[in-house]
Chains A and B, each alone.
Chain A
């Protein structure tokens, strides 16, 4: 009997083509779509966003066309606790969360995998653009996608050997154009469906700040001063959740040179702004560090290229792995603006060797 694989289907083209490829390769494919968005989140806006009825129907049509079983599973409670609550509390603490990385870590490759395992699956597959290379001994390496513009390995840093051993990324070796072409050849309804938005559960007016305010229901908002580097108050703000490091707009400040958020002080609710050059950090401290290669254990040092935001280039740095899942990263040259809460990922060439959540910048 062929190995059973559960494909996490969003209704988008990537996971649909992933499922199609696995069917062709002879796997026993089962499609699962996750109901994630909390009921109370954006009732009207959700219709168009991710997890909408239409998305599920798209996935169902693909499953019908390719003739594999498909189900919608209810992951709302898990998602709410593991991703949405974390998202809101991070913003309220003056940090900039990365819900996609959290969802991968705690929902897709954890809770959903358990569902898959309960259904007798050997593998879980997604439509992520990343590659897994296995050596004959079973050791797995996580590599960037072939399509550099689409590479999503950044969001997958938390996958260790256990997760990688049971995960398949069928479209990781294809470009987006190839995926769409393939979908058209297969006659899939969603071949030309637009990309999903960045954060699936935040829709509606006002973006992240408004979502955080609604979810927190007014509790825990931290208004305070906007300060310059000398500690002078330039303005008042209505809550630190409205800011992220490097932000330029919405500061309520006008000055000669453009000013950017340099620091968000959670305890005092102070937002410190400075000119661009002052944002550069020499390094950072990471927590919840996960390493793909076990030989990079505690006390290890590696030279790597480090990405501190999805769309930023990877910069040369030295990574020192410390105890309790911490790591210190020193950039070769004073580097980028570092946002606590975001993800930092360590690459060596094509290979993702590890990563973690940013605790704070180091100078």
Chain B
């Protein structure tokens, strides 16, 4: 069995989700919008899932809008907020966000909006003073990732929320990498909008949600029927929502214990690698990171080579983002944090999760150290040679 260290890309399906899916497929489900009893049964299933999701983030059920995933939720949060208050022409975000935030921002910019992408500090933290300086009464939205997907840095949401509130801007948090790993309570975070992705939690891909605090100015971007409180038209993915609800329910009970376990394993992995790889560098802060995420710069190797060597040896990790062809490109997050292109090219992300075991971590430490030596023996010397 390969060792899967790519939870930030997508977690393996949890048994709770599998059981919910199997149960759902055995039953006959109608359309939750129908009046007949099959429809009513479907509606109850959908609403139970919504209640479970709401409980996980400390929200009221009516504030949870099911979407097709994190990308749709981010698009809805950003484009929907802009559309609801067209007189506010500024959006504030950061340079280290996920593409599903950066791309809608670029679209707004092309449509005449002023988009501010704040540079983070060297550890990936968005500086509250910089946010304060960027927000004004023409700002419709402050949109930030709560936990960065590539380095795991957590943002100081509470401080940022009050800054946004002062100017009347809505505050959107992309919590895709934070939910289930740290306490995510929408009241404590002070956010108006919050993005959740199902498959990062161990539910199927194609599921997700956007929390929309009551009274938040936002317009739907998917137009049609009145589903999801008229915030997201289209018959909901009932099957997916049921599985997501089952995962949310399990996490409400067990996230803290699981997260502490994952954090211990993450520390064990980092310590093991540091003891064996001289010059290994952790990107992001030592503390103030989401449990489970390590972004490491490996000296004297191309990250791409080490990634492939590891895959061949059954350790699955990731690097930057994949292009359409499947080749990897250096992470824009690391570059924005001030890493050189060469250092970014030498960096890999290892992300652990609910199924990771101590035995896997120990085996991975040995394999990674061995293959780093193998690759650096070849590429360490090549790196010294001048390119033609």
**A residues whose Cβ falls under 8 Å from a Cβ of B:** 30, 33, 35, 53, 56, 60, 69, 71-74, 78, 81-82, 106, 114-115, 117-120
Contact = CB atoms under 8 A, between A and B. Distances in A.
A105 to B, nearest CB: 10
Interface stretch (B83-91, B185-193, B304-312): B304-312
B327 A72 contact: yes
B329 A74 contact: yes
A361 B309 CA distance: 47
B42 to A, nearest CB: 38
Q: Which 8 A-B pairs have the closest CB atoms?
A: A72-B327, A118-B378, A118-B375, A118-B305, A74-B327, A72-B326, A56-B325, A117-B378
Contact of A82 (B302, B312, B387): B387
Contact of A118 (B327, B379, B387): B379
A53 B327 CA distance: 11
Given A30-B312, A69-B312, A81-B388, A56 B326 contact: yes
Nearest to A78: B387
Contact of A106 (B302, B323, B388): B388
A118 B329 contact: no
B324 interface: yes
Given A53-B325, A82-B387, A82-B388, A114 B304 contact: no
B308 A114 contact: no
Contacts of B357: none
Contacts of A30: 312
18 contacts: A30-B312, A35-B323, A53-B324, A69-B311, A71-B311, A73-B308, A74-B327, A78-B387, A81-B388, A82-B388, A106-B388, A114-B382, A115-B305, A118-B302, A118-B309, A119-B305, A119-B309, A119-B375
Contacts of B309: 118-120
A114 B379 CA distance: 7
Contacts of A81: 387-388
B46 interface: no
Contacts of A115: 302, 305
B99 interface: no
Contacts of B378: 114, 117-118
A106 B326 CA distance: 23
B369 to A, nearest CB: 15
Given A73-B308, A106-B388, A118 B301 contact: yes
Given A73-B304, A78-B387, A119 B312 contact: yes
B132 interface: no
Nearest to B382: A114
A115 B308 CA distance: 10
B216 interface: no
A69 B374 CA distance: 19
B328 interface: yes
Nearest to B330: A74
Residue of B301, B311, B379, B388 contacting most chain A CB atoms (<10 Å): B388
Contacts of B374: 118, 120
B304 A74 contact: yes
Contacts, number: 53
A74 B382 CA distance: 16
Nearest to B320: A74
Interface of B: 301-302, 304-305, 308-309, 311-312, 323-329, 374-375, 378-379, 382, 387-388
Given A33-B325, A73-B327, A118-B302, 17 more contacts: A30-B312, A35-B323, A56-B325, A71-B308, A71-B311, A73-B304, A73-B308, A74-B328, A82-B387, A82-B388, A114-B382, A118-B305, A118-B309, A118-B379, A119-B308, A119-B312, A120-B309
Nearest to B341: A77
Nearest to B324: A53
Contacts of B308: 71, 73, 119
A53 B323 CA distance: 10
A216 to B, nearest CB: 19
Contacts of A78: 387
B263 to A, nearest CB: 32
A35 B327 CA distance: 7
Nearest to A6: B308
A10 to B, nearest CB: 13
Contacts of B379: 114, 118
B372 to A, nearest CB: 10
A119 B325 CA distance: 21
Contacts of A106: 388
Contacts of A114: 378-379, 382
A5 to B, nearest CB: 13
B388 A35 contact: no
B310 to A, nearest CB: 10
A56 B324 CA distance: 10
Nearest to A30: B312
Contacts of A60: 326
Contacts of B382: 114
Contacts of A56: 325-326
Contacts of A119: 305, 308-309, 312, 375
Contacts of A120: 309, 312, 374
Contacts of A53: 324-325
Contacts of B312: 30, 69, 119-120
Contacts of B323: 35
Contacts of B388: 81-82, 106
B305 A35 contact: no
Residue of A30, A56, A69, A74 contacting most chain B CB atoms (<10 Å): A74
Contacts of B302: 115, 118
B325 to A, nearest CB: 5
Contacts of A33: 325
B233 to A, nearest CB: 33
Contacts of A117: 378
Contacts of A74: 304, 327-329
Given A81-B388, A114-B382, A119-B312, A35 B325 contact: yes
A155 B354 CA distance: 53
A256 to B, nearest CB: 46
Nearest to B374: A120
Contacts of B375: 118-119
Residue of A35, A56, A106, A114 contacting most chain B CB atoms (<10 Å): A114
Contacts of A72: 325-327
Nearest to A74: B327
A354 to B, nearest CB: 21
B69 to A, nearest CB: 24
